[in-house]
Chain A
């Protein structure tokens, strides 16, 4: 059977504190100046490294290097990707700047792979509007260094690095069956063939037996609050104004509780053992999601005795 899948985007702008070494280097780039650091073996590292690769000692001796150098190796990018220095095909290269003993990775702007070779001389093309980042070097281009207008300003101590990664998230076959059921307003659990416990959602592997749950069990939309908390704190992306109750609800016939909201009563009146029933959203809004149940609310039945749910805490 086909499993459900949907996009999962992992996106965040990371805020990186640079510390003294990387901070000085990035500040230099912003000011159109490239500085390296001398290692314990005398090699000048560009970009600078904070700690010597051989001795692990903290490095402190700075050396200014040229804004031009030699391509030590390269590779071709025919389809540039998001965030890369150039939007047209370009070469990546490891470039050893004059005065440096190590090479830095950056883009070289040449029209085709025929226009670059190892040993070629390249120079920095500075970004028009430096901000304090590796992108202050827009890229490299063939040629020798030219005098650049040096800038000066506040030290750069932080860089912001956007990360955008796109994934496809898939549900398991068992979870897909459950989600399809939800679209029809049905709560479909499955029983583990070994321990006979009823899981909702059903599982690709029963967590205690390591085999998929199989026999389908349709569950009612009412059950018992096992335990809960009252959410009083506002936070990003919140849907309801606090205070409200997030509770574990054990559906009748299920052997595992799931978390959901309890509304339709004072938060302070919610109790362990309270009997609740689902309040569904309008049928036309139903999707493959437990959110089709907007929340649970008290059913008015007498509370369940502690012994009936004490094994689910």
Chain B
């Protein structure tokens, strides 16, 4: 395997609503400018581009096509697109670099969640024969998962609120976060249910956003970054789609991805893509994280731009390494209802 590192990352501010189009162009132009500018690169230095986005978030077929305008994709670019969080685009780009065909790749994701009614849009991910026709929404599916753990004693509402309070406090130092501030667990638990057993603080906000990340191989990475975040392993796994046929309080696909990525000892920091508080608890269990700093960025609970929130976890974890705050970091991304599809990326700094 070639040595590949995250060498650059930029993110649009996570906000409730932007005023641009659903094709991401207005959000992406400044993000590309920032990430390439910081590395002293231009578009012609990028050997491979890969993006993640969703037609259903945009409400239009082929919504990702116009996004390449933000690149200025002429002369033509070597490019691919995943209909998934851009963390999977990052995986595809990492694979591409492993073939030896390219040395530098730029990965981006975008989504204007505010364009539609997000929780109802996400219903479209469910089994179209026996589940989606009933229109359960994404909050309800998460609520079923949360209750399963509560009733089994796997977690408590107190623990869920603690996740929210810690995330919001950490987000205070994240200029891109949408939700932040000091709040007490008692106050949170005194608030009403949004979708019993979920309260508002248990759910990620609705966020418009975009992000871009640059991967580079070997010496190219060492030229571009003072302290590259070397990817020591990246893998993903999917679970059964049958919500009533799997244990919703566990995440075998997360555990499987971590194993395949080579998670064998402690990481200093973990950025987990948990759009619901209880999902962080599921993930921590699946990853066996003890004593690691969780989500210093505030995580998806403080800003959840659809289709880039997973990529942002990789970018934030890489930033912990490049800034010298961590030597070993784990990033996780999720996709699908109730943590169905999970990706784990392990990174380290080398001095």
Do chains A and B make direct contact within the complex (CB under 8 angstroms)?
yes
Bits for B214-244, please: 1 = Cβ < 8 Å to A, else 0: 0000000000000000000000000010111
Cβ contact of B135, chosen from A75, A81, A96, cutoff 8 A = A81
A170 and B19 contact, CB distance less than 8 A: yes
- A72 to B196, alpha carbons, bound, how many Å? 15
| Cα-based distance from A169 to B66 in the complex (angstroms) | 15
Chain A residues lying within 8 Å of B60, measured Cβ to Cβ, are: 8
| CA–CA, A204 and B128, complex, Å | 36
Q: Provided the pairs A92-B144, A105-B144, A204-B29 are in contact, do residues A135 and B244 lie with their beta carbons within 8 angstroms?
A: no
Tell me if B59 and A210 are in contact (CB < 8 A).
no
Structural contact, A72 and B25, CB atoms closer than 8 A: no
**Cβ of A155 under 8 Å from chain B:** no
B147: nearest chain-A partner, CB-CB = A73
Select which of A92, A161, A204 is within 8 A of B133 by beta carbon: A161
A73-B144, A94-B243 known; A165+B121 contact, CB < 8 A:
yes
Contact present for A170 and B117 (CB under 8 Å): no
Return the chain A residue nearest B127 by Cβ.
Answer: A47
Give the chain B neighbours of A204 by CB distance below 8 A.
20-21, 25-26, 29, 69-70
Given A72-B148, A170-B20, A105 and B244 contact (CB-CB distance below 8 Å): yes
In chain B, residues 93-150, which have Cβ atoms closer than 8 Å to a Cβ of chain A? 114-117, 120-121, 124, 128-137, 139-140, 143-148
Q: Give Cα A107 to B29, complex, Å.
A: 45
Bound-complex Cα distance A131 to B349 (A): 61
Given contacts A49-B245, A75-B196, A105-B136, contact A161 B20 (CB under 8 A): no
B32 interface residue per 8 A CB criterion: yes
Give the distance to chain B from A9, nearest Cβ to Cβ, in Å. Answer: 9
Q: Indicate which residue in A8, A14, A74, A135 contacts B134 across the interface (CB closer than 8 Å).
A: A135
Within 8 A of A (CB), among B245-260: 245-246, 248
B22 at the interface (CB under 8 A from A): yes
A252 on the B face (CB < 8 A) = no
Q: Is B198 an interface residue (CB 8 A)?
A: yes
Interface hits, A107-124 → B, CB 8 Å: 107, 113, 118
Q: Which of A170-215 contact B (CB under 8 A)?
A: 170-173, 175, 203-212
Nearest chain A residue, comparing its CB with the CB of B239: A53
Contact between B243 and A208 (Cβ–Cβ < 8 Å)?
no
* CB-contacts of B312-343 with A (<8 A): none
Q: Determine if A264 is an interface residue (Cβ-Cβ < 8 Å).
A: no
Of B71-79, B156-164, B287-295, B302-310, which stretch is located at the interface?
B71-79
What chain A residues lie within 8 Å of B244 (beta carbons)?
Answer: 72, 94-96, 102-105
Closest residue of A by beta carbon distance from B240: A53
Counting CB contacts under 8 A, is B262 at the interface? no
Closest 4 CB pairs of A and B: A75-B143, A210-B72, A103-B244, A167-B59
Q: List 20 additional contacts besides A161-B128, A171-B21; criterion CB under 8 Å.
A: A3-B19, A8-B59, A49-B245, A74-B144, A75-B140, A75-B146, A75-B198, A77-B140, A84-B136, A92-B136, A105-B136, A105-B243, A159-B129, A165-B124, A167-B59, A169-B59, A172-B26, A203-B69, A210-B29, A210-B71
- Give chain A's interface residues, CB within 8 Å of chain B: 2-3, 5, 8, 10, 14, 16, 18, 22, 25-26, 43, 45, 47, 49, 53, 72-78, 81-85, 92-96, 102-107, 113, 118, 133-135, 159, 161, 163, 165-173, 175, 203-212
18 contacts between A and B (CB under 8 A): A2-B19, A14-B128, A49-B245, A73-B248, A75-B140, A81-B135, A81-B137, A92-B143, A134-B130, A161-B133, A165-B121, A169-B21, A169-B115, A170-B20, A173-B19, A207-B74, A210-B32, A210-B69
Residues in B lying within 8 Å of A, measured CB to CB: 19-22, 25-26, 28-29, 32, 43, 56, 58-60, 68-74, 114-117, 120-121, 124, 128-137, 139-140, 143-148, 151, 193, 195-198, 240, 242-246, 248
